[in-house]
Structure formats: C-alpha cells, structure tokens
C-alpha cells in the first residue's frame, strides 16, 4: 500500500513538472492547422492559462508529496467519497436539496459549505485556483455547493471529488426561472428589478417578439454547467454538448432528474450513504420547520406557454434537450442497475 501511494505521488509530481515544462510547447501547438477548428477565444484562453494551471498543479503535487506515509494512508481510507461537489443548476430543485442537506449535515456529521454567489457561474483561472485551494481546506467529509460551471479539479493537480447534480426539462426550467425573476416564490418576492412592462410580459410574448432573454444563446443554460469554464462551453454547439456529455460520463457519479426527485434522492442515498443516509425519509417526513421551507419554493404567478411557444423553444434549446435526454437515459440505466423504481 505504501509503495503504491509513493508511486501515485511520484506520478502526480512528475505530471505537474511535465506540464510546467511542456506547457509552452503545447501553447504553440494550439495554433497549428490541426487545431484550426478551435475558436479564437478558446485559443486565447489556452494560451493565457495553460502555464498558470501547470504551475498550480506543481505546487499542489509538491505539497501532496511531502505528506507522511501515515497521513497518506489515513487520507486514502477517509477520502474515497468524502469530498462532494454539487455545482447546482438554477431552478432544478437545488433549494429543496440544500434544505435537506442542512438537516443531514447535522445528523450525519459532515460539513455543508455553500456559496451565496448566484450570478457568477463562469470564473477566471485564478478564481478557479483559489476555489480549489479553499475547498481542499474544508474538513472532510463535506459537500460544497454553488451555482457554478464545472471545474476539473484534477486539471489543477488536486485529488478528484465526487461530482453530483440535478437537472430538469429545459423548457420547464426556463419558464420557472422566467417568472421567478419577476415574482419570486412563496419564500421571496421578485429578485430582479424589471420595468413594469417587462414584468407583465409572458413567455409567449417574449418568444413571439424575440426578446433578448428568449433568444437561442440566452436559452443555452444547462449544458455549460457540465461542459466547463472554457469560452467554447458558453456557445451553443456540438463542441460544448460533447464536452458536457464526456464530463458526465467521466466525472459525475450521479446526475439526477427533478421530475424523478424522490428516485434521485434514493440513488444519492444508495451511492453516497455517508452524506445522504436518511434523505428519502427526511424528504417524505421533513418535520414542521424543514417542511415549511421546502414547501415555499414553488414559483408564483407562473403562466404555462402555448404549444406553439413550446415548439419554438424546443427548437431554440435543442442542444440542452439533447443533453437532457442523454442524462435521462443514463439515469434510467443507473436506477435499473440499482433496482430503484422498478
């Protein structure tokens, strides 16, 4: 066991050193014809940030290599599923989930760290590095949650986390958010200062007259949460969609569905019992205080769009829908494997 840990730390340190040395060469290569399909924004992003990423990976790897054998073995036993990242998607049940996690954190003895930053999902490389360092200073076990596009922690030389998330039908999410911004819910009044004319606008009117918040780029919302922090992730297209799918396959333990919320909780409890033990029972029998908070998150004054509006939105959101159906298929397969909902 000790020799394997030594080898793992050596490999991590060697990888970081290699990245630091090879980084400038790789930057030059990104301008070659092989990479000519990349957008200028993405090339600039890689040119600016690759060496900084490698340098941070080197620092992290060096600190890992300096741990004692006892510390390394204890961490190997404790860390298997101790660190969880929930980069929650807006209007996909995250406030209900956080209310449940607040209770579970006390019952199951783990740290729940959340961020109130809701409108800064894309962050700079330095902010990503700072966040990685902050998260890895949290005592384990923990769950860290924030509205944030995916960050690959291993890219910065950090140990992997368990990534989880929940999504919902893209049109349903959009409609809920559209009216929430205007009227809030039973817990909060409207949270965005709009003109009276804009507040009175319905989704049907927004789509019919092609207002800014109903255009294709603005509607591309769910996929970037799983694609990542690169500029190409913010542009509706196959590159962002395929990257998001790859990250779900390789980085996420579970991506559940709000339409099947109870089964999503069952999967969390089955695969992550250290944190989610008792979550299904808590959801079904939350008690007066928690139940009151959970039952106040439904959006007020929500007007469902017409069939024609739905048809237009479905077309404009086709990348998010392809991603949604991909996640839906994976979730059904996972439930079947676990014997849940059958």
Task: Write down the pLDDT at residue 12.
Answer: 39
Tokens representing residue 215 in the block: 């255009």
Mean pLDDT (the chain) is 81
147 is catalytic: yes
Q: Average pLDDT of 238-255?
A: 98
Condensed to tens digits (0 to 9), the pLDDT of residues 18-62 reads 433 333 322 222 333 333 444 454 455 445 554 544 455 454 445
Indicate if the pLDDT at residue 7 is higher than 50: no
> In the chain, pLDDT over 90 holds for what percent of residues?
59
Indicate if the pLDDT at residue 326 is higher than 50: yes
Give the Cα separation of 227 and 240 in Å (integer).
Answer: 6
Condensed to tens digits (0 to 9), the pLDDT of residues 70-98 reads 554 545 545 768 999 999 999 999 999 99
Task: Write down the pLDDT at residue 320.
Answer: 98
In sequence order, the 6+-apart residues with CB closer than 8 A to the CB of 71 are none
Task: Write down the pLDDT at residue 292.
Answer: 66
Find out whether 319 and 240 touch, Cβ atoms under 8 Å: yes
Task: Write down the pLDDT at residue 24.
Answer: 30
Domain boundaries in the chain? 1-78, 82-342
Condensed to tens digits (0 to 9), the pLDDT of residues 140-183 reads 999 999 999 999 998 998 888 999 999 999 999 999 999 988 88
- Of the candidates 163, 167, 194, the residue with the CA atom closest to the CA atom of residue 178: 194
SS (H, E, C) 183-252: HCECCCCCCCCCCHHHHHCCHHHHHHCCCHHHCHHHHCCCCHHHHCCCHHHHCCCHHHHHHHHHHHHHHE
Indicate which residue of 147, 190, 211, 318 is catalytic. 147
**pLDDT tier at 189, thresholds 50, 70, 90:** low
**pLDDT tier at 193, thresholds 50, 70, 90:** confident
Task: Write down the pLDDT at residue 342.
Answer: 61
Q: Average pLDDT of 198-207?
A: 91
First to last CA, the chain: 40
Q: Which CATH architecture has domain 82-342?
A: 3-Layer(aba) Sandwich (3.40)
Indicate if the pLDDT at residue 277 is higher than 50: yes
Burial class (CB within 10 angstroms; exposed 0-12, middle 13-18, buried 19+) of 323: buried
Indicate if the pLDDT at residue 8 is higher than 90: no
């Amino acid at each position: 066991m000790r020799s394997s840990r030594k080898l793992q730390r050596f490999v991590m340190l060697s990888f970081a050193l290699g990245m630091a040395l090879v980084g400038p060469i790789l930057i030059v290569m990104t301008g070659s014809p092989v990479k000519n399909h990349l957008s200028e924004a993405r090339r600039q992003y890689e040119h600016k940030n690759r060496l900084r990423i490698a340098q941070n990976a080197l620092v992290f790897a060096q600190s890992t290599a300096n741990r004692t054998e006892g510390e390394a073995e204890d961490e190997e036993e404790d860390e298997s599923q101790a660190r969880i990242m929930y980069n929650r998607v807006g209007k996909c049940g995250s406030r209900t989930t956080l209310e449940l996690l607040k209770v579970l954190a006390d019952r199951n003895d783990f740290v729940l760290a959340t961020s109130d930053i809701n409108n800064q999902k894309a962050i700079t490389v330095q902010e990503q590095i700072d966040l990685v360092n902050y998260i890895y200073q949290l005592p384990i076990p923990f769950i860290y949650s924030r509205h944030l596009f995916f960050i690959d922690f291993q890219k910065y030389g950090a140990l992997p986390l368990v990534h989880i998330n929940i999504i919902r039908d893209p049109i349903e999410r959009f409609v809920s958010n559209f009216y929430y911004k205007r009227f809030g819910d039973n817990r909060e009044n409207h949270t965005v200062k709009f003109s009276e004319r804009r507040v009175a606008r319905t989704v049907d009117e927004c789509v019919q007259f092609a207002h800014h918040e109903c255009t294709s780029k603005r509607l591309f919302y769910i996929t970037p949460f799983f694609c990542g922090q690169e500029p190409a992730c913010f542009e509706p297209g196959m590159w962002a969609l395929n990257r998001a799918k790859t990250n779900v396959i390789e980085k996420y333990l579970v991506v559940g569905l709000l339409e099947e919320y109870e089964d999503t909780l069952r999967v969390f409890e089955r695969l992550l019992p250290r944190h989610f033990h008792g979550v299904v029972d808590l959801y079904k029998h939350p008690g007066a205080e928690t139940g009151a908070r959970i039952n106040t998150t439904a959006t007020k004054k929500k007007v469902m769009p017409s069939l024609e509006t739905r048809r237009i939105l479905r077309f404009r959101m086709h990348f998010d829908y392809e991603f949604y159906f991909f996640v839906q298929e994976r979730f059904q397969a996972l439930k079947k494997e676990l014997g849940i909902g059958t």
